[in-house]
Amino acid sequence: MRVVVPVREDVPFGVRLALLFVLALSTVIVHLNQAPVLRPAEELISDLRAGGVSKVVHDRDWPAYGTLTWSHGPLSWTQARFDQPDDVWDPETTRLDREALQRRQEAFLARVRAAADPSVEIVRTEGSRGAALLAGSPAYERWWKPFAPVAVTAEALTWLLMLARPNPRYASRWAWFWMFLTGGSLLYVLLEPRPLWRGPYEMPSSAPERLDGTRGFAIAVAVLFGTAMVNA
- State the pLDDT confidence band at 22, using cuts at 50, 70 and 90: very high
- List C-alpha distances in Å: 232 to 27, 121, 194, 208, 220: 19, 32, 36, 36, 18
Contacts 24+ apart (CB under 8 A), 160-168: 161/10, 161/11, 161/188, 162/188, 162/192, 165/10, 165/192, 165/193, 168/192, 168/193, 168/210
CA distance 222 to 74: 30
Q: Model confidence over 154-182: pLDDT tens digits?
A: 999 999 999 888 788 888 889 999 999 88
* Residue 125 or 158, more confident: 158
CA distance 168 to 211: 10
Contacts of 78 (CB under 8 A, 6+ apart): 36, 37, 38, 39, 43, 44, 47, 69, 70, 71, 72
Q: Are 158 and 19 in contact (CB under 8 A)?
A: yes
Verdict on whether the full-model pTM lies above 0.75:
no
Q: Which residues pair with 125 in a beta bridge?
A: 59
- List C-alpha distances in Å: 62 to 99, 108, 149, 175: 13, 11, 24, 40
Q: Model confidence over 206-222: pLDDT tens digits?
A: 667 888 888 989 998 99
The residue among 88, 56, 80 whose CA lies nearest residue 70 is: 56
State the average pLDDT over residues 183-201.
84
pLDDT beyond 50 at 18? yes
Q: Are 53 and 123 in contact (CB under 8 A)?
A: no
Alpha-carbon Rg for the chain, nearest whole angstrom, is 23
The pLDDT, as a whole number, for residue 9 is 59
- State the pLDDT confidence band at 130, using cuts at 50, 70 and 90: very low
